[in-house]
């Protein structure tokens, strides 16, 4: 049996480990910043398994390659399991109770649609508010010049950076940042006149 330090000091083993770590870093389960950690963990895994090496069955490099491949497979299995949250138990909001006005109620009963929207960064808007908003936007668009209307549509579709690249809006050239921001500020003023707040 070969002593464990022979595997650790062999430059061929270092090459195999670095190659396998680079392969793992290219996968979605790992990142480039994991490279050094993966190399170290592979060295440790190889040293832990070094006592199993039998020169009658294989050469040292074949053993090292097999041990490193084994580590890589275990690492990917663990990463996928963590990604699927296999160790986490499902939690139901029905099982969580809170006190509302001195009465203990399930959390699910205390939450409404507005709470769900806020948790996702949304805002609750009623059907009537949606109609009012649509009417205000239509009135604001009618108050714009045809060039401002085209810019408004471009900004809504492509954001400011995308609208800046719309050459048909800017006489065949890309607009400067100063020019497009000045034009967008004019649009914001028109929208504000109709009670529409814009980001």
Report the SS3 class of residue 103. strand
Q: Is residue 148 part of a domain?
A: yes
Average pLDDT, the chain: 77
Q: Picking from 6-10, 35-39, 74-78, 163-167, which range would have the lowest pLDDT averaged per residue?
A: 163-167
Report the pLDDT averaged over residues 16-27: 88
Report residue 2's pLDDT band, with 50, 70 and 90 as the boundaries: very low
Using CA atoms, how far residue 153 sits from 105, 134, 147, in Å, is 47, 15, 10
Q: Is residue 198 part of a domain?
A: no
Q: Is residue 71 part of a domain?
A: yes
Q: Is residue 51 part of a domain?
A: yes
Residues 13 and 76 reside in one and the same domain: yes
Residues 39 and 109 reside in one and the same domain: no
Query: Per the structure, how many domains does the chain have?
Result: 3
Residues 117 and 140 reside in one and the same domain: no
Max Cα distance, the chain (Å): 88
Which residues, at least 6 apart from 21, have a Cβ–Cβ distance to it below 8 Å?
A: 34, 35, 38, 39, 42
* pLDDT (0 to 100) of residue 198: 67
Out of 26, 52, 83, pick the residue that ends a domain.
Answer: 83
- Quote the domain boundaries for residue 160: 127-193
């Amino acid at each position: 049996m070969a002593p464990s330090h022979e595997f650790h000091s062999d430059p061929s083993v270092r090459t195999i480990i670095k190659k396998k770590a680079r392969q793992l870093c290219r996968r979605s389960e790992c990142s480039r910043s994991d490279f050094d950690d993966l190399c170290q963990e592979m060295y440790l895994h190889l040293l832990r398994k070094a006592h199993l090496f039998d020169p009658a069955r294989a050469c040292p490099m074949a053993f090292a390659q097999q041990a490193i491949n084994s580590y890589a497979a275990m690492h990917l299995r663990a990463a996928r399991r963590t990604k699927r949250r296999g160790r986490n138990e499902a939690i139901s909001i029905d099982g969580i109770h809170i006190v509302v006005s001195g009465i203990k109620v399930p959390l699910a009963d205390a939450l409404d649609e507005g709470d769900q929207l806020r948790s996702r960064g949304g805002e609750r808007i009623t059907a009537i508010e949606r109609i009012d908003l649509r009417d205000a936007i239509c009135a604001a668009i009618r108050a714009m010049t045809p060039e401002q209307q085209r810019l408004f549509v471009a900004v809504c579709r492509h954001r400011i950076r995308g609208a800046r690249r719309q050459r048909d809006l800017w006489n065949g050239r890309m607009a400067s940042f100063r020019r497009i921001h000045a034009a967008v500020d004019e649009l914001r003023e028109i929208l504000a006149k109709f009670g529409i707040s814009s980001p």
